[in-house]
């Protein structure tokens, strides 16, 4: 997805640039992003939502890809930005995002982080627990914020269990996120009596990588039952097409499903926000690796590459399945086990993927790695986190450089 094959060479290309040219320019591993694909997806969300519900805004859940170039790109496309905590808030502001469009999340927001949000005039803070209310009340009571009112949403946990991996399921009873209905109602009552916090509405997010529309529709029903508000933030969660076997709803099918319930059950003057993360960026990105070793052992062909769980934790955390291909010989071949370079048996990018005669030095592309890879990348085994490369109209540029060994030592004190 997002890339094509040059018929003359058989090479994988993205926005007109052959994969070997990118590997030559930036080395491997590298995270390659088709810039126009992200823009197109952002427009599809924004326009699709506006066409169905004029008082609305698509907001990017920036945890999926929190680098300033991505914030800038999506801010340019007119999206709001969802930030989880002070770090993402700081990045979004540094990238020039409009503070009024910020939605500040987190189940453990410190007073310092809430202060950052208030200081920045962030549009909405999402109340996840009663402590958020206490802290915000305390901050806004300070003389310097006299006359200020902070808009807030209450995050509701509706006890909906989408059919997705447990680790990315957030809407069920027993989740650490949000407030179950009776508590949400108590929080709403308390906020209605607050002078400093302005209750704008409610928020719901039931999970990620959701592959059918039903849980989204149920989530809208759940927030509708809470009463009338100015704002309903319906969260994110739409799944992406990682493997040929995945068939997530399209953006339009997703929007139809939620807006259909909204038309019947939400006040027509209300403002609707959605917060897609994964589905905004996943399919626009792919990871480029180089084969370091090919070993036949125990009935498997192990193809080991120069990256792995340092730049893609999705397999370790959620058993996410990925396709892969030799970038210069796209298509099938013998079944291989594509593994990373890290000291962990679970460091597998794809347990069983057909690769065409993989050899040491070959380039391997793993598609659909635009979401939650950069954000979860790490330095395990002293790995240097890879660069992020934007490609557009046959041109490419690094927007994040590769870490150096000096970077690995930068915070160590003598
Ligand atoms: N809104 C809230 C409040 C969220 O917690 C999330 C994701 C989103 C929106 C965006 O959901 P999306 O559209 O991306 O599904 N690290 C995991 C994913 C965790 C998702 C956390 N919350 C992974 O690598 O798969």
Residue 127 forms beta bridges with which residues? 154
pLDDT tens for residues 323-378?
999 999 998 899 999 999 999 999 999 999 999 999 999 999 999 999 999 999 99
Q: Assign 3-class secondary structure to 35-49.
A: HHHHHHHHHHHHHHH
C-alpha 347/C-alpha 356 separation (Å) is 22
Q: Are 129 and 253 within one domain? A: yes
Q: Are 27 and 65 within one domain? A: no
**Which ligand 1 atom minimizes the distance to the CA of 279?**
13
Q: Of 233, 257, 281, which residue constitutes the final position of a domain?
A: 281
Q: Does 414 fall in a domain?
A: no
For ligand 1, the distance from its centroid to the CA atom of residue 372, given in whole angstroms, is 9
Q: Given CA atoms 21, 24, 28, 30 in this order, what sign does their dihedral have?
A: negative
Q: Are 271 and 312 within one domain? A: no
Among 41, 58, 61, say which to mutate for ligand 1: greatest number of ligand atoms within 8 Å of CB: 61
- Specify the number of domains making up the chain: 2
pLDDT at 29: 98
Among 38, 64, 124, 167, say which to mutate for ligand 1: greatest number of ligand atoms within 8 Å of CB: 64
Q: Does 50 fall in a domain?
A: yes
Q: Given CA atoms 166, 168, 173, 176 in this order, what sign does their dihedral have?
A: positive
Residue nearest to atom 8 of ligand 1 (CA): 236
pLDDT tens for residues 4-60?
898 889 999 999 999 999 999 999 999 999 999 999 999 999 999 999 999 999 999
The predicted model scores a pTM of: 0.96
Q: Does 328 fall in a domain?
A: yes
pLDDT at 299: 96
Residue nearest to atom 23 of ligand 1 (CA): 372
User: Residue 67's domain is classified under what CATH number?
Assistant: 3.20.20.10
Q: How far apart are the first and last CA of the chain?
A: 47
Q: Are 140 and 255 within one domain? A: yes
Residue 247's domain spans which residues? 35-281
C-alpha 201/C-alpha 233 separation (Å) is 8
Residue 174 marked as a ligand binder: no
Q: Of 252, 281, 310, which residue constitutes the final position of a domain?
A: 281
C-alpha 306/C-alpha 308 separation (Å) is 7
Q: Are 177 and 309 within one domain? A: no
Q: Of 258, 281, 304, which residue constitutes the final position of a domain?
A: 281
Q: Does 162 fall in a domain?
A: yes
User: Residue 333's domain is classified under what CATH number?
Assistant: 2.40.37.10
Q: What's the token pair of residue 163? A: 């059919």
Residue 244 marked as a ligand binder: no
For ligand 1, the distance from its centroid to the CA atom of residue 236, given in whole angstroms, is 7
Q: Does 263 fall in a domain?
A: yes
C-alpha 335/C-alpha 353 separation (Å) is 5
Query: Is the pLDDT assigned to residue 2 strictly greater than 70?
Result: no
Give the DSSP letter string of 3-54.
EEE-TTT--EEETTEEHHHHHHHH-SSEEEEEHHHHHHHHHHHHHHHHHH-S
Ligand 1 close to Cβ of residue 128 (< 6 A)? no
Q: Are 190 and 240 within one domain? A: yes
**Which ligand 1 atom minimizes the distance to the CA of 280?**
13
For ligand 1, the distance from its centroid to the CA atom of residue 279, given in whole angstroms, is 10
pLDDT tens for residues 264-299?
999 999 999 999 999 999 999 999 999 999 999 999
Radius of gyration of the chain, Cα coordinates, nearest whole angstrom: 22
Q: Are 157 and 29 within one domain? A: no
Ligand 1 close to Cβ of residue 276 (< 6 A)? yes
Among 157, 278, 312, 369, say which to mutate for ligand 1: greatest number of ligand atoms within 8 Å of CB: 278
Q: Does 110 fall in a domain?
A: yes
CB 87: neighbour CB atoms within 10 A?
A: 12
Q: Does 157 fall in a domain?
A: yes
Residue 278 marked as a ligand binder: yes
Q: Does 102 fall in a domain?
A: yes
The residues annotated as belonging to the active site are 343
For ligand 1, the distance from its centroid to the CA atom of residue 237, given in whole angstroms, is 6
């Amino acid at each position: 997805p997002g890339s094509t094959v040059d018929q003359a060479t058989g090479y994988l290309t993205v926005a007109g640039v052959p994969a070997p040219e990118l590997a030559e320019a930036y080395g491997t591993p590298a995270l390659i992003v088709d810039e126009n694909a992200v823009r197109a997806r952002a427009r599809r969300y924004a326009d699709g939502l506006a066409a169905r519900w004029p008082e609305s805004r698509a907001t990017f859940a920036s945890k999926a890809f929190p680098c300033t170039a991505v914030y800038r790109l999506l801010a340019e496309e007119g999206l709001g930005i969802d930030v989880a905590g002070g770090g993402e808030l700081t990045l979004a502001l540094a990238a020039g995002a409009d503070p009024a469009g910020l939605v500040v999340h987190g189940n453990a927001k410190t007073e310092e982080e809430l202060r950052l949000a208030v200081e920045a005039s962030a549009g909405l803070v999402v109340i996840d627990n009663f402590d958020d209310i206490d802290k915000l009340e305390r901050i806004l009571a300070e003389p310097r914020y006299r006359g200020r009112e902070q808009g807030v949403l209450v995050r509701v946990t509706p006890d909906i269990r989408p059919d997705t991996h447990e680790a990315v399921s957030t809407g069920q009873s027993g989740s650490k996120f949000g407030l179950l209905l009776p508590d949400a109602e108590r929080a709403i009552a308390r906020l209605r009596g607050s002078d400093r916090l302005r209750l704008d509405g409610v928020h719901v997010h039931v999970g990620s990588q959701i592959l059918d529309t039903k849980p989204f529709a149920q989530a809208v029903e759940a927030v509708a039952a809470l009463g009338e508000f100015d704002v309903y933030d319906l969260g994110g969660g739409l799944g992406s097409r990682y493997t040929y076997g995945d068939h997530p709803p399209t953006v339009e099918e997703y929007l139809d499903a939620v807006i259909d319930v909204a038309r019947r059950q939400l006040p027509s003057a209300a403002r609707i926000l959605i917060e897609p993360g994964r589905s905004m960026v996943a399919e626009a990105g792919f990871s480029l690796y180089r084969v370091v070793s090919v070993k036949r052992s125990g009935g498997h062909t192990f193809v080991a590459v120069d990256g792995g769980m340092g730049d893609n934790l999705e397999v370790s955390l959620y058993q996410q399945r990925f396709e892969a291909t030799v970038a210069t010989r796209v298509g099938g071949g013998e079944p291989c086990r594509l593994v990373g370079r890290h000291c962990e048996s679970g460091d597998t990018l794809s347990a069983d993927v057909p690769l065409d005669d993989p050899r040491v030095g070959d380039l391997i592309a793993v598609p659909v790695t635009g979401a939650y890879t950069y954000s979860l990348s790490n330095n395990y085994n002293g790995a240097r986190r890879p660069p992020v490369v934007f490609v557009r109209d046959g041109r490419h540029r690094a927007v994040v450089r590769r870490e150096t060994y000096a970077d690995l030592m930068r915070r160590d004190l003598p």
